[in-house]
Amino acid sequence: MLAEVLRRLLATIPVMGVVAIAVFALLHVTPGDPAVIIAGDYATTDDIARIRARLGLDQPFHTQVAIWLGRVVRGDLGTSIFSGLPVSTLIGQRAATTIWLTLFAMLISVGVGVPIGVVAAWRKGSWLDRAVMVFAVSGFSMPTFWLGFILVYVFAITAGWLPVQGYTPLAGGVGSFLSHLILPALTLSVVYMALIARMTRASMLGVLDEDYIRTAFAKGLAPRGVLVRHALKNASLPIVTIIGIGFALLIGGAVVTESVFALPGLGRLTVDAIVRRDYPVIQGVLLVVSGVYVLINLIVDILYVVLDPRIRY
């Protein structure tokens, strides 16, 4: 078990290496001189030269890659051109908001998506099943920010129950913290929820035909127990996989959601950095977020072994 975890961990190293190089190369594959683009329209020749020297753009490409990789390994993501602060500090300041947002969205999506998927599969062909399927298709097609505005309009502007925008850290009071996070988390969760519900239904349908399910029902076990303990447990692998893969959707959605609700998270940081052409920040966020994605999928891989002892790598 431990050896397998270690082996999976080692396998992520080349992937992260490619991510680091790709994130770095972004600066170079795009046409034009990055220093000119970063400096903006009103830069002087001196400004451009300074930026070029600061980013090491005056070095040959392979030297630049080596320097960048060396710094990344040491946890140094460079300094922001705009604020002059280390990128890791900026990310640290904003990470908590995004972590809370995605965590809540994930809880909502799994908490609702899995049960409705199970029920839909159990009552296949019923109006309930059809309703879940309609939700799954339309939820997946829903533009996240538009849904956010609809929720804001209904619950914040018209009903006045919740704040329109903004954020209070947890230290600023649990009530205020939660009330600012409910709508964004709900907005963000819908796409993911739809994905999970669809996968749960499909995976459950495959399992519910099995003989042991019929046996379990036949010996008079309560449907709830059969569905959860017998069926869902055996249908869980694809569901766990989609939770891991779909995390990319959640992160992408978080960028947009934070913009709608003016949350000071990593998404805002990225969008601001893009407007200001603050390239070290963009690279840093990209690298960190991809690292989290790889990590989550590593956890999923390890969960496989826990959920299904037959799997050995």
- Residue 245 burial by Cβ neighbours in a 10 Å radius (0-12, 13-18, 19+): middle
Q: How far is the CB of 174 from another protein (least distance, A)?
A: 27
Is residue 43 at the binding interface for another protein, with CB under 8 A as the rule?
no
Q: Which is nearer to another protein, 30 or 45 (CB)?
A: 30
Taking the least distance from each CB to another protein, the nearer of 116 and 251 is 251
User: What x/- string results for residues 143 through 162 when contact with another protein is judged by CB under 8 A?
Assistant: xxxx--xx-xx---x-----
Residue 30 within binding range of another protein, rule CB under 8 A: yes
Residue from 232, 240, 242, 255 binding another protein (CB under 8 A): 255
Distance CA 220, CA 216 (A): 7
For position 16 contacting another protein by CB under 8 A, the verdict is yes
Q: Which stretch binds another protein (CB under 8 A): 32-40, 50-58, 83-91, 105-113?
A: 32-40
275 part of the interface to another protein, by CB under 8 A: yes
Residue among 47 and 228 whose Cβ is closer to another protein: 47
Q: Phi first, then psi: what are they for 263, rounded to 5°?
A: -90, 135
Q: Which is nearer to another protein, 14 or 220 (CB)?
A: 14
Report how far residue 68's alpha carbon sits from residue 70's, in angstroms, rounded to the nearest whole number.
Answer: 5
248 binds another protein (CB under 8 A): yes
- 174: contact with another protein by CB under 8 A: no
Is residue 138 within the footprint of another protein (CB under 8 A)? yes
Question: Does residue 17 bind another protein (CB under 8 A)?
Answer: yes
- To another protein, the closest distance from the beta carbon of 110 in angstroms equals 19
Residue 55 makes contact with another protein by CB under 8 A: no
Choice from 26, 95, 128, 178 touching another protein (CB under 8 A): 26
We find the least distance from the C-beta atom of residue 266 to another protein, in angstroms, to be 9
Q: Is 98 in the site for another protein (CB under 8 A)?
A: no
Positions 61 through 90 that interact with another protein (CB under 8 A) = none
The DSSP code sequence of the chain is: -HHHHHHHHHHHHHHHHHHHHHHHHHHHHSSS-HHHHHH-TT--HHHHHHHHHHTTTTS-HHHHHHHHHHHHHTT---B-TTT-SBHHHHHHHHHHHHHHHHHHHHHHHHHHHHHHHHHHHHTTTSHHHHHHHHHHHHHHH--HHHHHHHHIIIIIIIS--S-SS----GGG-HHHHHHHHHHHHHHHHHHHHHHHHHHHHHHHHHHHTSHHHHHHHHTT--HHHIIIIIIIHHHHHHHHHHHHHTHHHHHHHHHHHHHHHT--SHHHHHHHHHHTT-HHHHHHHHHHHHHHHHHHHHHHHHHHHHH-TT---
Would you count residue 285 as binding another protein (CB under 8 A)?
Answer: yes
Q: Which residues bind another protein (CB under 8 A)?
A: 14-19, 21-23, 26-27, 30-32, 34, 37, 137-138, 140-146, 149-150, 152-153, 157, 164, 248-249, 251-252, 255-256, 259-260, 270-271, 273-275, 277, 279, 282-283, 285-286, 289-290, 293-294
